[in-house]
Structure 1
Amino acid sequence: MDNEEFSLPRSRAANERLHALVPGGAHTYAKGDDQYPENLAPVISHGRGAHVWDVDGNRYIEYGSGLRSVSLGHAHPRVLEAVRHELDRGSNFVRPSFIEVEAAERFLATVPTAEMVKFAKNGSDVTTAAVRLARAVTGRPRVAICGDQPFFSVDDWFIGTTPMSAGIPAATNELTVAFPYGDLAATEELLTRYRDEVACLILEPAGHTEPPLGYLAGLRELADRHGCVLIFDEMITGFRWSEAGAQGLYGVVPDLSTFGKALGNGFAVSALAGRRELMERGGLRHSGERVFLLSTTHGGETHSLAAAMAVQTTYVEEGVTARLHALGERLAAGVREAAAGMGVGGHVVVRGRASNLVFATLDENRQPSQEYRTLFLRQLLAGGVLAPSFVVSSALDDADIDRTVDVVAQACAVYRKALDAGDPTPWLAGRPVKPVFRRLA
């Protein structure tokens, strides 16, 4: 594709139709066309493996598939076989189906640090259920979130803390407090300041950096000493860090944890898991006040649970987590070498665990830049690489990685020209991409 002539007329028309019908033009803000260069937001026709095709007929090597959910690649045969087996048998009944027993047993065998599990559809369903359960068990009102991490839920207790807080009462916002990742002293100070008020600490156990030595164990000790519930949000770390999540890898057991994304390989399924003593408070076999934990019409949808079981089997039997790490290591090394070779090694920066890579685009002063991100994304798209991040799927092969690195090298050559000119504007061809969380549209 010639970058100068690269255009997406059908995608552009489809985006216009979407905006006329769907607020934001997408059902997830992170998929919005404001996240892409102007008029270069592909609308997808279909995908197979690590590749997707847009409605204009272009094929891309895809990263960050389904916001990290499609970690085995699109239309994965083992997952589709499991789903097809259920489709003719009905999807939802007036009572639990037997697959709900099997899916729970499979999940708890895969994540043995948990004792009970309840399935839902979205990550927000289960993180909010975890928070409610923590408040019910402790009788405390406040939620302590890790303030350095970008997203926990669409619900009021979290969204009120973001720049997109319209519609959330101030009284709700006041009940959520924040602690910094990796800083046990600051967290202890917070728990002391709000003594006997904090119901839970909720965080992603790992992010773009590894947990400092002893940090997660220290949080576990703090939560125990201050009588609050420790919740690990494993939406991203689940499966990508290990089949048993970050808790399985680092050996620190939370009271509650939440899974989603990779669990269904694109099918809608999430999970709240944790200690029996807490989880049973949302059940029928206790003498205390009942907790309305999770009640979802589609939580037991048979084909999504079948997909989840197939995903877990595939991860364990095929060593998928190790493959994700190997692919990510090859990609990170290639991108770093390409960036350095073009003289932008300090400006196009790859970060994160190999199975969950992101990239930063820095300006002349080594500051994060949406303008340079726009330039970089334009070049990648024109080269047939769709990469809001460098998060790999196991469907990629070495040829895909090598092709990606070649395209990155070409993009870095243009990046160098813009740095030398001191202004990326001539290479943007429109407004820069925008951050997801911002107060004004």
Structure 2
Amino acid sequence: EGYLQAVKDVCEKEGIVLIFDEVVSGFRFHPKGAQYLYGVTPHLSTFGKAMANGYSISALVGKKEIMELGGLEHEKERVFLLSTTYGAETHHLRAAQKSIEILNQNDYEVTKYIWSVGKQIKEGYNALVKQYELEKYTRLEGIDCRPYFYFQDNSLRTLFAQEMIKYGVLIQGIVPSYSHGKSEIDQTIEAFDKALKVLKYAIEENKVDDLLIGGPVKPVFRKYN
């Protein structure tokens, strides 16, 4: 509570530009971004393809006095370059216009639905974890619109993903969509049930690594291969 505002206060005191990366949170946490949800406006923000429903587009936005430094109407040193390499691909811009229009309709209906889907999946998973007494080993954490898996180690994470694939669900994380309906939610939770049964057996019998078809997954950001 108050962390982001405290960071902004320090930045403004020390003359540091505060930048929020909203590529994931923008339009998902709220159509106006996580900054609106938490009541803290940074100096610059980045947004990604969520603003165009998957079309390749991004945006750098921020305070006028900073953004103008990338333009031509000043004599100061240019601190960054605004490129128009893809400027001719206007269908991306039209997709963004329409997506933002829809996201702002009906009291943010789309975003609220995404939160609802994530909540149902998170509650379903954690209820099964409790049922199988696996709280020590795994759970779904985080904000409802973008929950994330916790596993005690990567072997368990890999075994879980492997079993989910067997039951028709390719899953790395939870990214709720407006396209996810009751059937998709039910299918996912049913697959959770079957996969967690395997995890419970593997843990109790000390056979986690034996049940893996391949090696355990590795973190994307790691020091050594």
Structure-1-length-normalised TM-score: 0.49
Corresponding position: 1:361 with 2:145: no
Aligned ranges 1:58-73 → 2 under 5 Å: none
Give, in whole Å, the separation in 2 of the partners of 1:328 and 1:420: 30
Please, which runs of 5 or more residues in structure 1 have no aligned partner?
Answer: 1-212, 363-368
Give, in whole Å, the separation in 2 of the partners of 1:354 and 1:300: 37
Give, in whole Å, the separation in 1 of the partners of 2:175 and 2:135: 19
- 1:373 Cα deviation (Å)? 0.9
Give CA deviations for 1:293-328 in whole Å, capped at 9, x if unaligned.
Answer: 221311452011111112111211152111111111
Please, which runs of 5 or more residues in structure 2 have no aligned partner?
Answer: none
Corresponding position: 1:290 with 2:78: yes
Q: Which of 55, 58, 61 is the matching residue for 1:267? A: 55
Q: Could you tell me whether the CA contact under 8 Å between 1:236 and 1:261 is conserved in 2?
A: no
Against the structure 1 CA distance between its residues 276 and 268, is the aligned structure 2 distance closer, same or farther, given a 3 Å change threshold? same
Give CA deviations for 1:191-240 in whole Å, capped at 9, x if unaligned.
Answer: xxxxxxxxxxxxxxxxxxxxxx1111111111111111111111111011
Provide the secondary structure at the position in 1 that maps to 2:18: strand
Give CA deviations for 1:173-194 in whole Å, capped at 9, x if unaligned.
Answer: xxxxxxxxxxxxxxxxxxxxxx
Q: Report the count of equivalent residues.
A: 223
Give the structure 2 partner of residue 346 of structure 1: 136
Q: Which of 158, 170, 189 is the matching residue for 1:386? A: 170
Structure-2-length-normalised TM-score: 0.94
Percent identical pairs in the alignment equals 39
More strand by share: 1
Q: Moved runs in structure 1, 4+ residues, more than 4 A?
A: none
- 1:440 Cα deviation (Å)? 4.0
Corresponding position: 1:242 with 2:30: yes
Give, in whole Å, the separation in 2 of the partners of 1:263 and 1:297: 19
Q: CA RMSD in A?
A: 1.5
Q: Could you tell me whether the CA contact under 8 Å between 1:342 and 1:409 is conserved in 2?
A: no
- 1:287 Cα deviation (Å)? 3.0
Q: Please tell me the residue identity of whatever aligns with 2:17.
A: V
Structure with greater contact order relative to length (CA < 8 Å, sep ≥ 6): 1
Give the structure 2 partner of residue 105 of structure 1: none
- 1:261 Cα deviation (Å)? 3.5
Q: Please tell me the residue identity of whatever aligns with 1:258.
A: T
Q: Could you tell me whether the CA contact under 8 Å between 2:122 and 2:140 is conserved in 1?
A: yes
Corresponding position: 1:220 with 2:8: yes
- 1:376 Cα deviation (Å)? 0.2
Q: Could you tell me whether the CA contact under 8 Å between 1:269 and 1:299 is conserved in 2?
A: no
Q: Could you tell me whether the CA contact under 8 Å between 2:71 and 2:82 is conserved in 1?
A: no
Q: Which of 179, 185, 201 is the matching residue for 1:401? A: 185
Q: Could you tell me whether the CA contact under 8 Å between 1:351 and 1:359 is conserved in 2?
A: yes
Q: Please tell me the residue identity of whatever aligns with 2:219.
A: P
Q: Could you tell me whether the CA contact under 8 Å between 2:21 and 2:47 is conserved in 1?
A: yes
Give CA deviations for 1:45-69 in whole Å, capped at 9, x if unaligned.
Answer: xxxxxxxxxxxxxxxxxxxxxxxxx
Give, in whole Å, the separation in 1 of the partners of 2:80 and 2:138: 47
Corresponding position: 1:337 with 2:142: no
Q: Could you tell me whether the CA contact under 8 Å between 2:23 and 2:47 is conserved in 1?
A: yes
